[in-house]
Amino acid sequence: MTQSNIETVADPQTTEIDIPIHGTDHVEMYVGNAKQAMHFFCSGFGFRPVAYRGPETGVKDTASYVVEQGKVRIVITSPLGPDSPIADHVHRHGDGVKDIALWVDDAAAAFDQTVKNGAIPIAEPTEEYGDGGKILKATVGTYGETQHTFIQRDEFEGTFLPGYEEYGLEDWKINETNLEFVDHIVGNVEDGKMNDWAEYYESCFGFHVLQNFDEKDISTKYSSLRSRVMKNANGRIKLPINEPAEGLKKSQIQEYLDYYKSPGVQHVALHTNDIIQAVDRLRTNGIKFLQVPDSYYENLLDRVGDIDEDIEVLKDLHVLVDRDEQGYLLQLFTKPVEDRPTLFFEVIQRKGSQGFGKGNFKALFEAIEYEQQKRGNL
Ligand code: FE2
């Protein structure tokens, strides 16, 4: 190794990191049956199908559907045979998030800088051309088999990405649910690995620690977890990382790891500017949420102070509230969206608070434990 190579070894104190990220470009899921999963996200969550790629567009081994609502874009991909890495992924993990794609100005620079700082290289910068122009993309790894693809799309005006065609809605009436943008995406990693992955985002991507939660913050009589929230410079990307902690019974994080068979994405939080309407419509569409005990609402106003919403309405919809120094937030969590108890979604409305609902952790985890108990996994 030459002297100059030694100097390129990552050091979070001295390495210059400047990777402007505009936001989450899209989230890609690998699933067993993309056609049916797409229908679930549209009929249940109120997304619109906007783009498609598959055999009809010249791609022989996969089918991908893109669904969109507000700025949230989810790509749902299935393998069309057993001989693809996507089939292996689905076999091992079940349906889950493969890629948290990040929208950047310069995908090559993002790849070069992060890899130089120690990020796992997955795919070198590649240009793709289509009817609407060209994009540049490059991919690095993160926890488990999850990855981040950097997408540079300033010279592209076509449908989603090159190779995709518009998806016709025809007579389908979608009941949209006011979901606006990705607020945060949480990963679950093994006991003892949270700090390593937090440092990965710090040293490779230049992220900072926004908040820390330990087992004293997040525990019930039975189980606990630790969490560290990492965020990028402009705050548009927030990636909390959880690990299980010792408790009397099995942590919900451990249950996830047992079923996903590796670290991976635990939940995707979607922001809305009207959680009451959003949750009301989601429930009407058949989306199932965690049950919050009625007792949660008994002293709620003592805990959170004055809020704009009618507490009876919140109680009816089982929406949770938490307050910190900057304001309050309302949130609610779906049950897992596949048969394995792995990925779920959060609906969140922020009214000043930039927190994650620390005051709700106990009530929430008791609700999760109730579900764990029913599955025989507590
Ligand atoms: Fe969350």
pLDDT for 51 = 98
DSSP 293: P
pLDDT for 168 = 86
Under a CB-based contact definition with an 8 Å cutoff, are residues 245 and 224 in contact? yes
pLDDT for 121 = 98
pTM reported for the whole predicted model: 0.92
Model confidence over 83-103: pLDDT tens digits? 999 999 999 999 999 999 999
pLDDT for 264 = 98
In this structure, the answer to whether residues 272 and 158 fall within a common structural domain is no
Expressed in angstroms and rounded, the spacing between residue 151 Cα and the centre of ligand 1 is 24
pLDDT for 3 = 35
pLDDT for 15 = 57
Range of the domain at 157: 21-166
Residue 339 located in a structural domain: yes
Which of 108, 138, 166 marks a domain boundary?
Answer: 166
> H or E stretch including 362?
helix 361-374
Residue 16 located in a structural domain: no
Expressed in angstroms and rounded, the spacing between residue 114 Cα and the centre of ligand 1 is 26
Residue 8 located in a structural domain: no
In this structure, the answer to whether residues 315 and 279 fall within a common structural domain is yes
> Which of 28, 30, 148, 139 lies closest to 89, judged by CA?
30
In this structure, the answer to whether residues 162 and 120 fall within a common structural domain is yes
Mean pLDDT by runs of 10 across the 378 residues of the chain is 36 64 97 98 98 96 98 98 96 98 97 96 97 96 98 97 92 95 97 96 95 79 85 95 84 92 98 98 96 85 92 95 94 96 98 89 77 86
CATH assignment at residue 44 = 3.10.180.10
Expressed in angstroms and rounded, the spacing between residue 186 Cα and the centre of ligand 1 is 7
Expressed in angstroms and rounded, the spacing between residue 331 Cα and the centre of ligand 1 is 8
Residue 5 located in a structural domain: no
Residue 172 located in a structural domain: no
In this structure, the answer to whether residues 232 and 358 fall within a common structural domain is yes
Expressed in angstroms and rounded, the spacing between residue 249 Cα and the centre of ligand 1 is 22
In this structure, the answer to whether residues 349 and 253 fall within a common structural domain is yes
Residue 268 located in a structural domain: yes
pLDDT for 365 = 76
CB-neighbour burial class of residue 284 (10 A; exposed 0-12, middle 13-18, buried 19+): exposed
Which of 117, 135, 166 marks a domain boundary?
Answer: 166
For residue 147, count other CB atoms closer than 10 A to its CB.
Answer: 19
Residue 282 located in a structural domain: yes
In this structure, the answer to whether residues 161 and 78 fall within a common structural domain is yes
In this structure, the answer to whether residues 328 and 194 fall within a common structural domain is yes
Which of 166, 200, 216 marks a domain boundary?
Answer: 166
Structural tokens at position 104: 């950047």
Expressed in angstroms and rounded, the spacing between residue 239 Cα and the centre of ligand 1 is 9
DSSP of 104-162: ES-HHHHHHHHHHTTPEEEEEEEEEEETTEEEEEEEEE-STT-EEEEEE-TTB-SSSST
Expressed in angstroms and rounded, the spacing between residue 346 Cα and the centre of ligand 1 is 6
**Long-range pairs for 372-375 at CB < 8 Å and ≥24 separation?**
372/250, 372/252, 372/255, 372/341, 375/255, 375/341
Tally of structural domains, the chain: 2
In this structure, the answer to whether residues 260 and 360 fall within a common structural domain is yes
In this structure, the answer to whether residues 159 and 201 fall within a common structural domain is no
Expressed in angstroms and rounded, the spacing between residue 210 Cα and the centre of ligand 1 is 14
Cβ within 8 Å of residue 101, ≥6 positions away: 24, 25, 26, 27, 28, 148, 149, 150, 151
In this structure, the answer to whether residues 105 and 74 fall within a common structural domain is yes
In this structure, the answer to whether residues 228 and 344 fall within a common structural domain is yes
Expressed in angstroms and rounded, the spacing between residue 5 Cα and the centre of ligand 1 is 40
Under a CB-based contact definition with an 8 Å cutoff, are residues 273 and 279 in contact? no
Expressed in angstroms and rounded, the spacing between residue 238 Cα and the centre of ligand 1 is 10
Expressed in angstroms and rounded, the spacing between residue 325 Cα and the centre of ligand 1 is 19
User: What three-state secondary structure class fits 370?
Assistant: helix
pLDDT for 362 = 75
Environment of ion ligand 1 (residues, CB < 5 A): 269, 346
pLDDT for 298 = 84
Residue type, position 277, single letter: Q
Residue 14 located in a structural domain: no
In this structure, the answer to whether residues 162 and 184 fall within a common structural domain is no
> H or E stretch including 34?
helix 34-43
